[in-house]
């Protein structure tokens, strides 16, 4: 697991329709898939599910990234149908030079997931995410944060012209001493 973040960022939960959400929705991501996920999936996950959104500000006040965390049943086949934690999307502002912001964001989301999973009657203690195999930097980031590939082979995304993706997971249960 990666240690303390190299850059301190201040997370803040934001609602849909806020100025912050509108601002991050306009970021010019190189991969249009990220914009589509943010504009189409995240609002639905918030309204019809249990998704939360955070922005991350550096000490100057500038928003440098965002992260999302849902409690859903998308990978219920692997959790005996129980609701589990899932990271639909996180991103760093593509117009700035990242100084390890992704590490800070994934750490915050993982910590939040651990807190949710440790509540009495909480959800399943495995945190899932999926990532296209073309996103090499993202895969490295997740591996460094302790995520492991759980699907032995990449899976073709049938709606995205067979683009291959991996399912990764990390247990966020607290160890018993």
Phi, psi (deg, nearest 5) at residue 39: -80, -35
Residue among 96, 99, 114, 139 that touches another protein (CB under 8 A): 114
For another protein, the binding residue among 1, 19, 30, 161 (CB under 8 A) is 1
x-marked contacts with another protein along 24-63 as a string, rule CB under 8 A:
---------x--xx--xx-xxxxxxx--------------
Nearer to another protein, 96 or 150 (CB): 150
Q: Is the dihedral of CA 9, 10, 15, 18 positive or negative?
A: negative
Under rule CB under 8 A, residue 86 binds another protein: yes
Contact between 109 and another protein (CB under 8 A)? no
CA distance 55 to 62: 10
Distance CA 85, CA 53 (A): 14
Strand partners, 79: none
Decide if residue 4 touches another protein (CB under 8 A): yes
DSSP letter at 113?
Answer: H
Query: What is the nearest approach in angstroms of another protein to the Cβ of residue 75?
Result: 7
| Beta strands 10-14; 52-57: pairing state | antiparallel
Among 121, 153, 161, 162, binds another protein (CB under 8 A): 153
Tell me which residues in 66-85 interact with another protein (CB under 8 A): 72, 74-75, 77-78
The per-residue DSSP string of 39-97 comes to IIIHHHHHHHS--EEEEEE-TTS-EEEEEEEEEE-TTGGGTTT--EEE---EEE-TTS-
Q: Which residues bind another protein (CB under 8 A)?
A: 1, 4-5, 11, 15-17, 33, 36-37, 40-41, 43-49, 72, 74-75, 77-78, 86, 88-89, 107-108, 111-112, 114-115, 118-120, 125-126, 128, 130, 148-153, 155, 157-160, 165, 167, 169-177
């Amino acid at each position: 697991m990666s240690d303390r973040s190299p850059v301190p960022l201040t997370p803040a939960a934001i609602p849909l329709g806020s100025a912050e959400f509108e601002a991050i929705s306009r970021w010019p991501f190189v991969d249009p898939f990220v914009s589509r996920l943010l504009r189409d999936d995240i609002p639905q996950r918030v309204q019809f599910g249990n998704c939360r959104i955070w922005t991350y500000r550096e000490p100057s006040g500038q928003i440098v990234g965002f992260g999302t965390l849902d409690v859903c049943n998308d990978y219920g086949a692997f959790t005996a149908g129980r609701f589990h934690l899932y990271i639909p999307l996180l991103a760093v502002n593509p117009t700035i030079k990242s100084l390890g912001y992704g590490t800070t964001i994934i750490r915050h989301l993982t910590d939040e997931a651990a807190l949710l999973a440790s509540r009495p009657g909480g959800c399943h203690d495995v945190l899932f995410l999926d990532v296209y195999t073309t996103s090499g930097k993202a895969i490295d980031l997740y591996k460094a944060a302790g995520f492991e590939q759980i699907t032995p082979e990449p899976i073709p995304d049938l709606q995205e012209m067979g683009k291959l993706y991996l399912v990764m997971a990390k247990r966020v249960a607290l160890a018993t001493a």
